[in-house]
Amino acid sequence: MPQAIESIAVREQKLLAPYAMHSAQSAGREHPEPEHPYRSPFQRDRDRIAYSAAYRRLSGKTQVFTGELGDYHRTRLTHTIEVASVARTIGRALALNEDLIEALALVHDLGHPPFGHAGEDTLDAALRDEGGFSHNAQALRIVRELETRYHQFPGLNLTREVLAGQGTRIDHQGEAPLLEVQVVEAADSITYDTHDADDALELELLSLDELLTQPLWSGAAARVRRRHGGLAGIELRRAVLHELIDWQVGDLLERASARLADEAIDSPEAARRSGILIAASPRLADQKQELEAFLRRRVYRHSEVLQHRQNAQAALAQLFEGYVAHPEWLPARFADRVATTGLTRTVADYLAGMTDRYAWRDFEQRFGRSGP
C-alpha cells in the first residue's frame, strides 16, 4: 500500500467509527484507476462532482420556486450546499465518513431537469413508454455517461459507494443503504422542510402566523421563546428557522446514537442489516409529515406556483416534441448518441441538462414565443 494511502487509512481508523465506510473498504470504481497520492477516493469523488458542468448548472435550476417569483429563494445549488452542510454536521457527530457524505450530498440532486419537479413530471410523461424519467436515475446517467471531462473513461468514474447511494432506500436483499447515504437523505428532509417554508414566507405565499399553527413550527417557536423571550416578526422567524435545523439534527443524533449503541453496530455491513438507523424520532417524524402536508396544500399548490408550473411544463413538453421532430437541432455530441441511446432518451438527456433560463431562451428561439 503506498505510504500516502496508508496514512489516509490510519487517519480514518483514528477518526471514524467502525460502522463508518472507510476508504480502504471501498469497492472501487467501474473503470480501475491508480490511487491518488494524497486524496482519498471519496475526496476525489467530491471534487469531480463539484467541478462538473452539471453541478454548476444547478445554480440556474428551480428548487421549488422559479426565478419569475423573485431571487431570494433557493435554487437547486443553494439547496444542495445547505444539505451538504447539515449532512456533514450529522456525519461528524456520528464519526462517519464526511468525504463520502459530502460527495453524496453534492450529487443527490444532480439529475434534476429545469423547472424542478414540474420538469421531472413532464419528462417522465414524455418517456412513459421507455421507463420514464427520474432525477435519481438521471444523476447516474450524468456521472456515468454524459459528463465528458476525462479521456480515460466516460462520465466521472465515481466510486461504487456514491453510485449505489442514488438507489432505493432498501435494496432487493432487504438491506438499508450505508449510514452515510442515510445521513444525506435525512439532511435533505430537514433542509427542505425548513427552507421551503422560509422561501414561501419571503414570497408572501403564506404568513408566519399560519406556519405557527403547525406543531413543528409552534414547538420550535416555544423553544426559542423559552430562551430568548418575546421575539416577534423577522427576529422570531429567523430564530425559529435556526431552531428547526438544530432541533431536528439533535433529535436525529440522539435517536441514532442510541440505536447504534443498543444494537452494538460494529461495521458498515451490520449497519445495513439493521435497517434505517438515521431517522427522526416518531413524534418529530409525525410533525414533519403534518408540515409537509400543509406545505403541499398551501405552497406547492398555490395558484401562483401552479401557474408558473403549468407554463414551464407546456414549454418543456413543446421543446421535447420539437427536438424529437427535428433531431438536427441537437448539438453534435448528443446527435452522436442517438444511434446507441435512442432519439427520445437522447432528447430528454439534452433537455434535462438545461437551466431554466436556457430552456426558456431555447423555447423562444424555436417557437417565437417568450416565457414568463
pLDDT tens readout for residues 272-316:
999 999 999 999 999 999 999 999 999 888 888 888 889 999 999
Q: What's the confidence (pLDDT) of residue 170?
A: 63
> What residue segments make up the domains of the chain, in order of their start?
3-306, 307-367
Using only C-alpha atoms, what is the Rg of the chain?
A: 22
Residue 369 has pLDDT above 90, yes or no: no
Residue 173 has pLDDT above 50, yes or no: yes
Residue 211 has pLDDT above 70, yes or no: yes
To the nearest whole percent, how much of the chain has pLDDT over 90?
A: 79
User: What pLDDT band is residue 3 in, cutting at 50, 70 and 90?
Assistant: low
Mean pLDDT of the chain: 92
Residue 326's Cβ-count burial label (10 Å; 0-12, 13-18, 19+) is exposed
Q: What is the C-alpha separation between 148 and 156, in angstroms, rounded?
A: 8
Answer whether 191's CB lies under 8 Å from 86's CB.
yes
Q: What's the confidence (pLDDT) of residue 7?
A: 87
Specify the pTM: 0.93
Residue 104 has pLDDT above 60, yes or no: yes
Q: For residue range 186-197, what is the model confidence (pLDDT) as tens digits? A: 999 999 889 889
Q: What's the confidence (pLDDT) of residue 69?
A: 53
Residue 1 has pLDDT above 50, yes or no: no
Q: For residue range 149-172, what is the model confidence (pLDDT) as tens digits? A: 888 899 999 999 999 998 766 665
Q: What's the confidence (pLDDT) of residue 301?
A: 83
User: What pLDDT band is residue 57 in, cutting at 50, 70 and 90?
Assistant: very high
* Beta carbons within 10 angstroms of residue 180's beta carbon: 30
Query: What average pLDDT does range 216-239 have in this prediction?
Result: 92
CATH H-level, domain 3-306: superfamily: Hypothetical protein af1432 (1.10.3210.10)
Residue 67 has pLDDT above 60, yes or no: no
Contacts (Cβ under 8 Å, ≥6 apart) of 368: none
Q: What's the confidence (pLDDT) of residue 179?
A: 98
Cell matching residue 108: 443527490
Answer whether 101's CB lies under 8 Å from 87's CB.
yes
Q: What's the confidence (pLDDT) of residue 307?
A: 87
Q: What's the confidence (pLDDT) of residue 192?
A: 87
